[in-house]
Structure 1
Amino acid sequence: MDWSPFWLSLRVAGLATIFTILLGSLIAWPLARARFWGRELAIGVVNLPLVLPPTVLGYALLVGLGRRSALGGWYEHLTGHSLVFTWEGAAVAACIASLPLFVSQARVALAAVEADVVGAARTDGASGWPLVRFIFIPLAWPGFLAGTTLAFARALGDFGATLMVAGDTPGVTQTMPLAIYDAVLVGDDAKVKAFVLLSTGLCLGVSLLAARLGRN
């Protein structure tokens, strides 16, 4: 049996999770620590990938990442090939789909850092990066790790957005969810069972880890 969808899924989910941590941390910080007009609207926009139909999200990403878009054009100029219909495009799609899960966990963890603790650290002269490094990271890391594991599991199982943005090319952009779909269509029960069990086991393990971290 061809195991390339499994390895590709891990690669896509891994890169997507890195993107999610970097982008999600920048988004979660102001949502957790600042009060500004439109904050609730911003939270709603961040949560959109959770409630949008996958085809709608996928179409929006397809337009936003295509060669006619600013990001797609910049990527093609930099690399010489389009971002859509590549495994890198699949990683970007999986990142956007999993972003709300990371942001929600990180936002709660950052908001839980007590103002008195931050105030005491500022009184002692801490500010900027030292404040983040010695106060926020030690106190908020369980929430960040829980968000990371949930984002990885979501990226690992993404179907709709990945299909719209990256397509379903065996050996190139075909992840496990896409391979399962194709195997069902052709009646390859052995392949379906193998990838379903593997996907379920991985996602269950990651979800249990996230729940354990979330209790800390």
Structure 2
Amino acid sequence: MPQRRFTRSESQIIARQQLRDLMFDISTPEWMAVLLSLKVGVVATLVATPIAIALAWALARYEFWGKSIVDAAVHLPLVLPPVVTGYLLLLTFGKRGLVGGWLDDHLGIVFAFRWTGAALACGVMSFPLLVRPIRLSIEAIDRRLEQAASTLGASPWKVFATVTLPLALPGILAGMVLGFAKAIGEFGATITFVSNIPGETQTISSAIYSLIQTPDGDAAGMRLVIISIAMSMAALIASEVFTRRATRRLHGI
């Protein structure tokens, strides 16, 4: 029985349908990797931000012994190979680590090979990107505004809460967005510290790594690549918007 030949328009419709199925037929494991990446990124950013604000404030406003060492340590994750950072986290926060062993024995908290460990690794790797814009934003604030508030009787904490923090808010938001973008794309430290366990520690990056080594995994890998690019671009655009607003605000434009 002769096969029916498709017309050009029919072939185009079929090709578009196949492409649509290829790009948008996201499986459950893929969705789990996307959602876990978002979860890890949000938790890492929210936990790291208060620490980053406090440290950025100290670096911007005070001179103390060892300041250069602290500043270098903050930026160390940017220059260390991510695998080295992940291995150090494993030695420190693993079940037999210096801190991880105590947390497991006394508090029942486990980071190694858990999604919480992925959040910890992402928080460490994104921390420099949080601290830097916050520190620059605080340094750009006119000190006379803080001095005026102090003259009117405001305590140092009230000055920080009512003057410094609101003026630094655009920089804080920009740092949070950059940190979040870094967190959802982190791979080396995460896979070293918490491995690549589907549904538990497998983020977008580690899922792509697994898929490109799997026969017929190219389509699924490409879908995750597109999703990852879209999320990163959105985060970078948001960061640029916040940075511009911060510049205009500080210059009174």
In 2 relative to 1, CA 81–31 (structure 1 residues): closer, same or farther, beyond 3 Å?
closer
Matched, 1:15 2:15: no
1:20 offset after TM fit, Å? 1.3
What is the identity percentage for the equivalent residue pairs of Structure 1 and Structure 2? 38
Tell me how far apart the structure 2 counterparts of residues 215 and 56 of structure 1 sit (CA, whole Å): 35
Per the alignment, residue 92 of structure 1 pairs with: 120
Contact 1:75 1:83 in 2 (8 A): no
Amino acid in the other structure paired with 1:212: V
RMSD: 1.3
Match of 1:55 among 83, 89, 96: 83
Per the alignment, residue 166 of structure 2 pairs with: 138
Q: Which runs of 5+ in 1 are unaligned?
A: none
State which structure, 1 or 2, has the greater radius of gyration over its C-alpha atoms: 2
Per the alignment, residue 226 of structure 2 pairs with: 197
Per the alignment, residue 73 of structure 1 pairs with: 101
Tell me how far apart the structure 2 counterparts of residues 74 and 137 of structure 1 sit (CA, whole Å): 35
Amino acid in the other structure paired with 1:189: D
Matched, 1:159 2:184: no
Tell me how far apart the structure 2 counterparts of residues 17 and 77 of structure 1 sit (CA, whole Å): 27
Q: Residues 137-193 of structure 1: CA distance to partner in whole angstroms, max 9, x if unpaired?
A: 111000000000000000000000000111101111100000000000114111111
Tell me how far apart the structure 2 counterparts of residues 64 and 5 of structure 1 sit (CA, whole Å): 26
Tell me how far apart the structure 2 counterparts of residues 96 and 9 of structure 1 sit (CA, whole Å): 15
Matched, 1:122 2:150: yes
Amino acid in the other structure paired with 1:199: S
Secondary structure of the structure 2 residue equivalent to 1:60: helix
Tell me how far apart the structure 1 counterparts of residues 219 and 141 of structure 2 sit (CA, whole Å): 49
Per the alignment, residue 59 of structure 2 pairs with: 31
Per the alignment, residue 176 of structure 2 pairs with: 148
TM-score for the superposition, normalised by structure 1: 0.95
Secondary structure of the structure 2 residue equivalent to 1:68: coil
Tell me how far apart the structure 2 counterparts of residues 88 and 71 of structure 1 sit (CA, whole Å): 15
Contact 2:100 2:110 in 1 (8 A): yes
1:96 offset after TM fit, Å? 0.2
Q: Which runs of 5+ in 2 are unaligned?
A: 1-26, 246-253
Contact 1:49 1:96 in 2 (8 A): yes
Per the alignment, residue 70 of structure 2 pairs with: 42
Structure 1 residue runs of 4 or more that deviate by more than 4 Å after TM superposition: none
Per the alignment, residue 212 of structure 1 pairs with: 241
In 2 relative to 1, CA 82–133 (structure 1 residues): closer, same or farther, beyond 3 Å?
closer
Secondary structure of the structure 2 residue equivalent to 1:177: helix
Tell me how far apart the structure 1 counterparts of residues 181 and 208 of structure 2 sit (CA, whole Å): 17
Larger mean Cα displacement after TM superposition, 143-152 or 72-81: 72-81
1:129 offset after TM fit, Å? 2.7
Per the alignment, residue 133 of structure 2 pairs with: 105
Contact 2:91 2:98 in 1 (8 A): no
1:70 offset after TM fit, Å? 4.2
1:133 offset after TM fit, Å? 1.7
Tell me how far apart the structure 2 counterparts of residues 7 and 82 of structure 1 sit (CA, whole Å): 21
In 2 relative to 1, CA 81–32 (structure 1 residues): closer, same or farther, beyond 3 Å?
closer
Tell me how far apart the structure 2 counterparts of residues 45 and 140 of structure 1 sit (CA, whole Å): 23
Aligned residue pairs total 216
Per the alignment, residue 19 of structure 2 pairs with: none
